[in-house]
Amino acid sequence: MMKPYLPIPVLLLFVLSLAAGATVGAASPVEPAPREGRAQERFLQLNERVREHAGEIDVLFVGDSITQGWEGAGREVWETFYGDRKAVNIGIGGDRTQHVLWRLENGNIEGLSPKVTVVMIGTNNSGLDRNTTAEMLEGVTAVVERIGEKLPDTKILLLGIFPRSRHFDEQRGKITQVNQALRLLDDGERVHFLDFGHVFLDPDGSIPERLMPDALHLSPEGYRLWAEAMEDELAALLRD
């Protein structure tokens, strides 16, 4: 029986993709894409929330489930730090950069003119079966650029993607590399980069359960660390 084989060009492409860390068939992080199910339901709810607060927002939070979690585990900390700051949260669990790009074009920031937009997105693009580090960088950069175009009067506080996984691994390494490059988006005027992921780590580099019970999503204490680490920069931008 003849052994199955791959044609030379296909085999070469496969080998090169592995060498580059690429994922065959991975969704593009820069092509706006909608979602279905519960994510779509929340998207519609956020459109209504935005309509209700049009013209009244000073601080906008954009992101995935970690940002959405301000409405769950982070609720009390939110009230303490942002309850009187005219803040709105448009995070959706499971979102990748391409989903945020789609939301930005379809009503999630319609009518808003926040003084500061806090952005933290990309962890859901970091899976080893998803996007490369270069693609992740492209995706986050595209989100920042689109917000700048849609909200020309906002200051963008771009946060480094938070660390994940209980211990050091390849996925956390990808995130660290992307954060190093994201720092270069800081222009000191419109875009300000802030990376405080180290506050979620123990001295041995592990992520304690008390801060991230599943080594990804924050506990109430984790949200307090987030708010405290961001406060000086956020307050300075709001005064501007």
**Which sequence positions are flagged as catalytic?**
65, 214, 217
Write down the H helix ranges in the chain.
8-20, 38-52, 65-68, 75-82, 97-105, 133-150, 170-182, 220-239
For strand 116-120 and strand 59-63, is the pairing parallel, antiparallel, or unpaired? parallel
- In this structure, what is the dihedral angle of CA atoms 38, 39, 40, 41, given to the nearest 10 degrees? 50
End-to-end, the C-alpha distance of the chain in Å comes to 74
Beta bridge partners of 168: none
Q: Find out whether 115 and 156 touch, Cβ atoms under 8 Å.
A: no
Distance CA 92, CA 226 (A): 18
Whether the CA torsion 89, 92, 93, 99 is positive or negative: it is: negative
**By the 8 A CB rule, do 156 and 190 touch?**
yes
Which secondary-structure segment (H or E) carries 119?
Answer: strand 116-120
